[in-house]
Amino acid sequence: MFFKQIYEDGLAQASYIIGCQETKQAIVIDPRRDIDIYLDISEKENLEITHVSETHIHADFLSGSRELAAATNAEIYLSDEGGEDWKYNFTHTGLKHGDKIKLGNIELSVLHTPGHTPEHIAFLITDKVITGKPLMLLTGDYVFVGDVGRPDLLEKAAGISGTQEISAKQMFESLKLFKSLPDYIQVWPGHGAGSACGKALGAVPSSTVGYEKITNWAMKINDVNEFVDLLLKDQPEPPKYFKMMKKLNKFGPTVLGGIPHPAKLSLPQLREAVEKNTIIIDTRDKFSFAGGHIKGSLNIQDNSAFSTWAGWMLHFDEPFVLIAKDDRIVEITKELVRIGYSHFYGYITGLDRWANHCNELEVMKQISVKELLNKIDDSNLEIIDVRSYTEFNEGYIPSAKNIHAGYLTDNLELLPKEKDLIVYCGTGDRSAIAASVLMRYGFTNVYNLTGGYQAWQNEGFPVMINNKDN
């Protein structure tokens, strides 16, 4: 058997390619939209991709199943569990609990594992050359290393009310199936640490059933009500783009036939984009951005969190300009296409030409934690903590107001334009995004707290926890 995990750091997402080395057939599970990596692997290993499948209708990335099937003539196998409301609305071969997919000596047995979503399935893998017993379990968003799939996304992200408690109870029942499996079976999940599909995902790429029985918090709770309460508690805020991902993945993403490449803009084209108020995503580091940027730009740094924050800040129907290095534009484009953003207006590599032609650059004001401490009682000051509510509740700067960075545009009316706004997060990255958002919407007196809450704590300055001084 050939087996390989393909891991995408930006979304903390895992897909898998499994092949029979005798018949040369292969299946890809949960492919991402940029499919070149699967084609390269299959060519290198002399395999033919004949099957494509998914564990569920994904919310955090755009599926590559249709893209891969169009490129390889592979057949698509998808869940037909969960009822009519949860069926894929494009051509596929349906899968039910107990069904099997056979690729030569490899057999994948389908397990219906609702909880994260009603249609969710997992795959038990048997290599019959070795044994007639299953050896691996591809769990998707059913069981992670150290955690289980969150049941609240349908309600919080997709807006389907009344589903999260029902889904949590379904997860409780689905875990009974997991616990009944032999301890030796390997567990290969759909996500790792950093994914918004759970709250306590481990950083190691795989596990075993036995290991999860011992270490995973969800396996230790036998009371359904306690389980539901704990599973729903403190789940991270789902990015706004999740709702659109659900819709597009259910009805089938458009087949691109390749990854688009944004055009490199001339100075007149850039000027025209600025005059149209086209969104500009400046991927430079936060300090370069603060030193000078095109007015109205958003600072989403080119790091491992780029995909997630682009999903928070961009609209699917709006074109945008990228500011990125030439050697990074291809990868950044892929990261955006993976979450459904392909309305590229174009890109530039830097601001030298813009500045050298007498175009003004805007700066982002910075404030140190010591400066903030000295003026914290100033009535003309408003402190905005843009971290998650969980982080905020664990400790925050006195008098700070918590508005998650992703929800700022929904709460602009709560912020006084006449006051100095001090924006902070953990270390300064998310607050750089948030400050750039506020500046785009006309707030001129915005300051990013250098070093964020971590720097404040390191200095031993007072914090609040659960509304009590500490």
Amino acid (one-letter) located at 243: K
pLDDT at 346: 97
Whether the per-residue pLDDT at 180 is higher than 60: the answer is yes
Contact at 8 Å (CB) between 98 and 115?
A: no
- Categorize the per-residue pLDDT at 363 as very low, low, confident or very high, splitting at 50, 70 and 90: very high
The stretch 100-105 carries a mean pLDDT of: 97
- Categorize the per-residue pLDDT at 467 as very low, low, confident or very high, splitting at 50, 70 and 90: low
Amino acid (one-letter) located at 188: W
pLDDT at 236: 87
> Mean pLDDT of all residues in the chain?
95
Collect all residues with Cβ–Cβ distance below 8 Å to 206 and sequence separation of at least 6.
5, 145, 186, 187, 188, 189
Lowest mean pLDDT among 39-48, 160-169, 292-301, 436-445: 160-169
Answer with the residue of higher pLDDT: 166 or 470. 166
pTM, rounded to two decimals = 0.93
* Domain covering 2-251: architecture: 4-Layer Sandwich (3.60)
pLDDT at 31: 98
Residue-by-residue DSSP string for 411-439? -GGGS-TTSEEEEE-SSSHHHHHHHHHHH
Query: What whole-number distance in Å separates Cα of residue 127 and Cα of residue 147?
Result: 27
CATH 3.40.250.10 in the chain, residue ranges = 267-356, 365-469
pLDDT at 147: 96
Long-range CB pairs of 29-32 (<8 Å, 24+ gap) are 29/53, 29/54, 29/55, 29/123, 29/138, 30/54, 30/55, 30/58, 30/63, 30/140, 30/190, 31/63, 31/64, 31/65, 31/67, 31/68, 32/6, 32/8, 32/61, 32/62, 32/63, 32/64, 32/338
Please state, for a pLDDT cut of 90, what percent of the chain lies above it. Answer: 90
pLDDT at 213: 97
pLDDT tens readout for residues 4-27: 999 999 999 999 999 999 999 999
Contact at 8 Å (CB) between 249 and 57?
A: yes
Whether the per-residue pLDDT at 272 is higher than 90: the answer is yes
Helices (H), 36-144: 36-44, 65-72
Answer with the residue of higher pLDDT: 156 or 95. 95
The stretch 222-227 carries a mean pLDDT of: 97
Please state, for a pLDDT cut of 70, what percent of the chain lies above it. Answer: 99
Whether the per-residue pLDDT at 196 is higher than 90: the answer is no
Helices (H), 115-239: 153-156, 164-179, 209-215, 224-232
Is the domain spanning 365-469 CATH 3.40.50.2300? The answer is no
pLDDT tens readout for residues 114-146: 999 999 999 999 999 999 999 999 999 999 999
- Categorize the per-residue pLDDT at 155 as very low, low, confident or very high, splitting at 50, 70 and 90: confident
Answer with the residue of higher pLDDT: 469 or 287. 287
Whether the per-residue pLDDT at 173 is higher than 70: the answer is yes
pLDDT tens readout for residues 324-355: 999 999 999 999 999 999 999 999 999 999 99
Whether the per-residue pLDDT at 159 is higher than 80: the answer is no
pLDDT at 469: 47
The stretch 311-322 carries a mean pLDDT of: 94
User: What fold characterizes domain 267-356?
Assistant: Oxidized Rhodanese; domain 1 (3.40.250)
pLDDT at 466: 74
Whether the per-residue pLDDT at 258 is higher than 50: the answer is yes
